[in-house]
Amino acid sequence: NAGVTQTPKFQVLKTGQSMTLQCAQDMNHNSMYWYRQDPGMGLRLIYYSASEGTTDKGEVPNGYNVSRLNKREFSLRLESAAPSQTSVYFCASSEGTGYPYEQYFGPGTRLTVT
Amino acid sequence: TQLLEQSPQFLSIQEGENLTVYCNSSSVFSSLQWYRQEPGEGPVLLVTVVTGGEVKKLKRLTFQFGDARKDSSLHITAAQPGDTGLYLCAGARRGSTLGRLYFGRGTQLTVWP
């Protein structure tokens, strides 16, 4: 039981390049989330998917797109990377409709945009 | 605007000291969670509190949910170097059915031997 897995673990991009961050969970969870973490800012929600087939914007969605490929997988795409997107990105999952909404996190992707 | 305010932002103490971390809001939450994050890893859930006034203990850690469900505290007794990490509180707003959590900015705790 791997929990939440993320790839890649590290990535360096040049400004304007695109990339997709992959996330998968094996806990049969309904809901999945993408966060970014910057020093002193805590975790900020980028996008989330309450259930397969639905996605919604979080606090900081600009510059990102997501795809809920199936119940297991939720990807985050940067179409044209900018230095302001340098951050650590975390994917998380939860049962979603259950109460309370405990979330399980992946190990993170450390992205640097030069 | 940050929905959950954590204080202090940084805490540096000696082994054996006690400490309290606070998580405050003007909003009501249906549940409040505490996570701990170590360098290079994702946050890991420590505890969930769901009832106003609830107190939960996890070894030397005591978590409390305020009576009005707007605030929470984490108290550590006799801190140890292994307690070092980033402590994050997170709340689920009353009425939310989408599983969304709102996180505080975190308290970075360093315990020196």
Q: pLDDT at position A8, please?
A: 96
A-chain residues near B105 (CB < 8 A): 40-42
Contacts of A44 in chain B (CB under 8 A): 103
The pLDDT, as a whole number, for residue B92 is 85
Res B98: pLDDT: 61
Q: How confident is the model at residue B2 (pLDDT cuts 50, 70, 90)?
A: confident
A46-71 per-position pLDDT tens digit: 999 988 889 999 989 999 999 998 99
Contact residues on chain A for B31, CB-CB shorter than 8 A:
99-101
Q: Name the region of B83 (left: φ>0; alpha: ψ -120 to 50; beta: rest).
A: alpha
Closest of B91, B100, B92, B83 to residue B11, by C-alpha: B83
Q: Is the model's pLDDT at A98 over the cut of 80? A: no
Query: Is A58 at the interface with chain B, CB within 8 A?
Result: yes
What's the pLDDT at A97? 58
Cα(B93)–Cα(B57) distance, integer angstroms: 23
A30, A31, A100 member nearest B30 (Cβ) = A100
Q: How many CB atoms neighbour CB B56 within 10 A?
A: 15
Helix or strand or coil: residue A85? helix
